[in-house]
Chain A
Amino acid sequence: MNKTIKLKIDGKVIPAEEGQTIVQAAHANGIYIPTLCNFEGVKPKGCCRMCTIKINNRYMTACTTPAADGMEIENNTLEINDIRKSIIELLFVSGNHFCPSCEKSGNCELQALAYRYEMMVPRFPYTFPQKGVDAKSPKIIKDQNRCISCKRCIKTIEDEQGRKYFAFKDRGYTLEVVLDEEMAKTMTDEIAQLAMDNCPVGSILKKEIGYKEPIGTRKYDKKPIGSEFEV
């Protein structure tokens, strides 16, 4: 058993185990910190910045920062929530998220977060980037217009030798997450399904199957995102 420590989130004291991240500690104690790029079981990489919190008046990411004894954290505050909302809006305007026609609608974490943070019209102008759809793989469609570059597929989808199916390409504003051409050819159904499931949005879709579960009855259609953690 690891040593138990105590930290404070918005004034509430919670216990945590040494080695846990702040997100893990919060979620285990009924406090929701929104995440997008974080994926349980793999090393975090703070890409989306959704889990931003404030410690000692500094912004930190809760998914990467280990919980420490005596930490005092600001989480559910006006300031932090507005930053989170602006990040959601930013992701919407820099892609093409036309939810009504998206197979992921209802299971999409980005969409769910937008509802939870009550996004109406984004404060930012749409940038209408020209991005492609890669449908060369026999198993999946990789729609770049919906990709939020969260890295979840990069981190979790590997073959037995640890080779990655997905990787970053380029940098800065033109950064994209692409599928390895060769490996795509031999992708199994299981891997394709896993990739689709691990993607928080509708950027990775399995081919030849769609709308099996009607929109309106899906995960976040029933309960808002985060409610699974909240007490």
Chain B
Amino acid sequence: MKEKINQIINKYNSDRSRLMDILLDIHDDKGYVDKNDINQLAKSLGISAAEVKETVSFYHFFSEKPRAKYNIYLNNSITACMRDRQGVKEAFEKACGITFGHVTQDSMFGLYNTSCIGMNDQGPAAIINDIVFTNLTPYRVVKLIEGLKEGKELRSLIYESYGDGNNADPDMQAMVNNNIRKGSILLNKNYKKFDVVKNELSKHSPEDVIQMVEESDLRGRGGAGFPTGMKWRFGRRVEGDHRVIICNADEGEPGTFKDRVMLTEYPDLVFEGMVIAAYATGADIGLVYLRYEYKYMLKYLNRILGEMREKNFLGKNISGIKEFDFDIRIQLGAGAYVCGEESALIESLEGKRGEPRDKPPFPVEKGYLNYPTIVNNVETLASAVRIIKNGAAWYSQYGTKDSTGTKLLSISGDCKFPGIYEVDWGTSIREVIEMCGAEKVQAIQVGGPSGMLIGPRDFDNLSSSDLMKWYKPSGMMVAEKFFDRKLSYSDLPTGGSMIIFNTERDLLRDVVMNFMEFFIEESCGSCSTCRNLPYIMKMKLEKILNGHGVRKDIDDLLTWGKTIKVSRCGLGQTAANPILSSILNFRHIYEQHVQAMADYDNTFDIVKSVEAANKYVGRNTEFHSN
């Protein structure tokens, strides 16, 4: 084993900044890193074992304990819960004979919970040894585990055929479906691959390219909505020995899965967008940060990159443009929502725990290895290709005056047609509801847990300033200013996640609790506020749901929500939003749970409490009530 680990370390030149890859390779090889491995790594990399563990213990898919032959990560996103995740979970537990969080004695099966894996439209879904199993039912679970016990090969147990489109590609063979319900200018196969790199780029100066993107008014599709052209201009202006383009494919916001579909069907468009961004900004290093959950695409995506190199769309003097050198490497994540935040993503790329950086400096000034770095979402980069091909004026025909172009929506939850919809900006929520065939809608979560829970009175008019008040995705200074100025961009403020809840759903007990647990689990823990407050606010919500709350508890939650806004990054700043936005829009539900006339909880029952205390300490005293 020692030798093997040495090989892996040498493969990455004992480079501490490649610790993620080193750990990923070790996990590929033996499933976990033990104490000896960690000590060996520490020695070779010249850091303490505690520092190695700092990275290892941060990521969900790394383990210091032996894992099983089959490691089953069952996604616990809210839509999975709405489709009998409980039944599926129990089926796994029964079939394997263990509860979640454990490994069977024979080391055959390990059961783990995991946050949304980007399959909200086909849940409950699980990742088993990097293979995705969608649409799980208790029956399917039983068959699956039976098959594995009989020694059948995991892939042979895929119970549906491979998914549509490229999901069936020999290098992917995934049981995942695209569920593309509506295309427009991005989801559109009617284009010549790499046409812009091959035929257009040489006609424009980098300045021209930036100007076109600026004129198109393209804004970041990752959530924060920062003007893309401006970001590129900043990046070009900052001096550096190297410049870096990063494609953010971390897609961790629960309920979002559009980047998965883009990368499945249009990887060429996304990579071409990176090449264009590199040309415009003078970057030579390209990185794709791909969430671990999408590892099943890795081979396929690397093949596309290989093809691009062969055709000189990557490499040196790209497409004959002198001194235009640029290449792309895909970096896998290892399970951490916060790594979608651009500076946390960069920390992770440098082999560290994904702890967001203080801003300023922003990544465009000091990013990956301190080089000027431009981070863009998958969809943003793909949109840029269309803009350079067809012009800014053409692009701005779509959408509204101040929110140009189209937006990919990931729609899931209570509706007939969950999936991906490419809509023009300005589309109303009511249209969305009709489009996806939702009925008896009680509420919609717009923008994922960090966004906002809205009710029917908002359906017609989403451009309310309220929405933007709550929705502060990446906590970028400039983005905030920007939002205040152009509130109409808030027609659909979103990385694209829309989760629909019908009138049967228990919004507080099921939805809000699920989202709060998500933030408690996914916070990086660095800020005192974000580390502790979501937990405390969830405690308070539990108190209310258990009938112990009074009116003041609701108001407390609202005022506490203020303190968490001083957290460093967008995760913390929005971590109270599930509670805050549900109080804002569904206060009546909270009111139903609290003791309306009481000033303080007067349900204290001394007999019950003594019983509970007795049980806790294992004492058996009689209570003499009179």
B563 contact set on A, CB distance < 8 A:
83, 86-87, 90
B526 part of interface (Cβ distance < 8 Å): yes
Instruction: Say whether A167 contacts B39, CB under 8 Å.
Output: no
A49 contact set on B, CB distance < 8 A:
527-529, 566-568
The CA-CA distance from A59 to B565 in the complex, in Å, is 8
Instruction: Say whether B358 contacts A179, CB under 8 Å.
Output: no
CB proximity to B under 8 Å, residues A116-158? 123-125, 127, 148-149, 151
The CA-CA distance from A48 to B565 in the complex, in Å, is 13
A183 part of interface (Cβ distance < 8 Å): yes
Q: At the interface with chain B, which of A26-34, A60-68, A200-208, A212-220?
A: A60-68
CB distance from A98 to the nearest CB of B (A): 18
Instruction: Say whether B358 contacts A44, CB under 8 Å.
Output: yes
The CA-CA distance from A156 to B184 in the complex, in Å, is 55
Instruction: Say whether B49 contacts A125, CB under 8 Å.
Output: no
B53 part of interface (Cβ distance < 8 Å): yes
Q: Specify which of A64, A90, A180 is in contact with B50 (CB 8 Å cutoff).
A: A180
B560 part of interface (Cβ distance < 8 Å): yes
CB distance from A157 to the nearest CB of B (A): 11
B145 contact set on A, CB distance < 8 A:
none
The CA-CA distance from A168 to B568 in the complex, in Å, is 17
The CA-CA distance from A107 to B476 in the complex, in Å, is 37
B204 contact set on A, CB distance < 8 A:
none
Instruction: Say whether B566 contacts A64, CB under 8 Å.
Output: no
A54's nearest neighbour on chain B, judged by CB, is B566
Instruction: Say whether B524 contacts A172, CB under 8 Å.
Output: yes
Instruction: Say whether A125 contacts B525, CB under 8 Å.
Output: no
B289 part of interface (Cβ distance < 8 Å): no
B526 contact set on A, CB distance < 8 A:
45, 47, 149, 151, 175
Contact with B along A153-171 (1 / 0, CB 8 A): 0000000011111111111
A91 part of interface (Cβ distance < 8 Å): yes
B407 part of interface (Cβ distance < 8 Å): no
A93's nearest neighbour on chain B, judged by CB, is B536
CB proximity to A under 8 Å, residues B563-583? 563, 565-568
A58 part of interface (Cβ distance < 8 Å): yes
Q: At the interface with chain A, which of B444-452, B515-523, B586-594?
A: B515-523
User: With A61-B358, A90-B533, A123-B556 given, is the CB distance from A180 to B524 under 8 Å?
Assistant: no
Instruction: Say whether A48 contacts B528, CB under 8 Å.
Output: yes
B598 part of interface (Cβ distance < 8 Å): no
The CA-CA distance from A179 to B53 in the complex, in Å, is 11
A87's nearest neighbour on chain B, judged by CB, is B528
Instruction: Say whether B353 contacts A168, CB under 8 Å.
Output: yes
The CA-CA distance from A127 to B536 in the complex, in Å, is 7
The CA-CA distance from A58 to B562 in the complex, in Å, is 13
B393 part of interface (Cβ distance < 8 Å): no
Contact with A along B522-544 (1 / 0, CB 8 A): 11111111011111100110000
A181 part of interface (Cβ distance < 8 Å): yes
A65's nearest neighbour on chain B, judged by CB, is B360
The CA-CA distance from A90 to B532 in the complex, in Å, is 7
The CA-CA distance from A166 to B49 in the complex, in Å, is 10
The CA-CA distance from A40 to B206 in the complex, in Å, is 43
A102 part of interface (Cβ distance < 8 Å): no
User: With A45-B358, A58-B477 given, is the CB distance from A173 to B50 under 8 Å?
Assistant: no
Instruction: Say whether A171 contacts B58, CB under 8 Å.
Output: yes
B481 contact set on A, CB distance < 8 A:
56
A123 contact set on B, CB distance < 8 A:
556, 560
Contact with A along B25-66 (1 / 0, CB 8 A): 000000000000001001000111111011001100000000
Contact with A along B541-566 (1 / 0, CB 8 A): 00000000000000010001011011
User: With A49-B528, A127-B536 given, is the CB distance from A173 to B49 under 8 Å?
Assistant: no
CB distance from B548 to the nearest CB of A (A): 11
Q: Tally of A-B residue pairs with Cβ under 8 A?
A: 145
Contact with B along A78-119 (1 / 0, CB 8 A): 000001001100110110000000000000000000000000
Q: How large is the interface on A (under 10, 10 to 19, 20 to 34, 35 or more residues)?
A: 35 or more
The CA-CA distance from A148 to B47 in the complex, in Å, is 24
A148's nearest neighbour on chain B, judged by CB, is B528
CB proximity to A under 8 Å, residues B496-528? 520-528
The CA-CA distance from A47 to B532 in the complex, in Å, is 12
A75 contact set on B, CB distance < 8 A:
none
The CA-CA distance from A169 to B528 in the complex, in Å, is 15
User: With A86-B563, A127-B535 given, is the CB distance from A178 to B50 under 8 Å?
Assistant: yes
Instruction: Say whether A163 contacts B48, CB under 8 Å.
Output: yes
Q: Specify which of B51, B336, B524, B533 is in contact with A164 (CB 8 Å cutoff).
A: B51
Q: Specify which of A45, A52, A162, A169 is in contact with B53 (CB 8 Å cutoff).
A: A169
Instruction: Say whether A167 contacts B532, CB under 8 Å.
Output: no
Instruction: Say whether A166 contacts B50, CB under 8 Å.
Output: yes
A180's nearest neighbour on chain B, judged by CB, is B50
Q: Specify which of B527, B534, B540, B562 is in contact with A83 (CB 8 Å cutoff).
A: B562
B402 part of interface (Cβ distance < 8 Å): no
Instruction: Say whether B520 contacts A172, CB under 8 Å.
Output: yes
The CA-CA distance from A6 to B495 in the complex, in Å, is 40
Instruction: Say whether B560 contacts A124, CB under 8 Å.
Output: yes
The CA-CA distance from A178 to B51 in the complex, in Å, is 10
Instruction: Say whether B50 contacts A164, CB under 8 Å.
Output: yes
Contact with B along A38-52 (1 / 0, CB 8 A): 000000111111101
A64's nearest neighbour on chain B, judged by CB, is B358
Q: Specify which of B51, B528, B534 is in contact with A149 (CB 8 Å cutoff).
A: B528
A182 part of interface (Cβ distance < 8 Å): yes
CB distance from B130 to the nearest CB of A (A): 22
Q: Specify which of A125, A173, A179, A182 is in contact with B531 (CB 8 Å cutoff).
A: A173
The CA-CA distance from A48 to B529 in the complex, in Å, is 8
Interface residues, chain B, CB within 8 Å of chain A?
Answer: 39, 42, 46-51, 53-54, 57-58, 336, 338, 353, 355, 358, 360, 477, 480-481, 520-529, 531-536, 539-540, 556, 560, 562-563, 565-568
Q: Give 19 new A-B contacts, CB below 8 A, not counting A87-B529, A168-B54.
A: A44-B358, A48-B528, A49-B527, A49-B566, A65-B358, A93-B532, A94-B536, A125-B540, A163-B48, A167-B48, A167-B53, A168-B58, A172-B520, A172-B524, A173-B523, A173-B531, A178-B53, A182-B49, A183-B48
| A to B CB contacts below 8 Å, 24 in the list | A44-B358, A45-B526, A46-B568, A49-B527, A49-B529, A49-B568, A56-B481, A58-B480, A83-B563, A83-B566, A90-B528, A90-B536, A93-B532, A123-B556, A124-B560, A127-B536, A163-B42, A167-B50, A169-B57, A171-B58, A173-B535, A175-B525, A175-B526, A179-B50
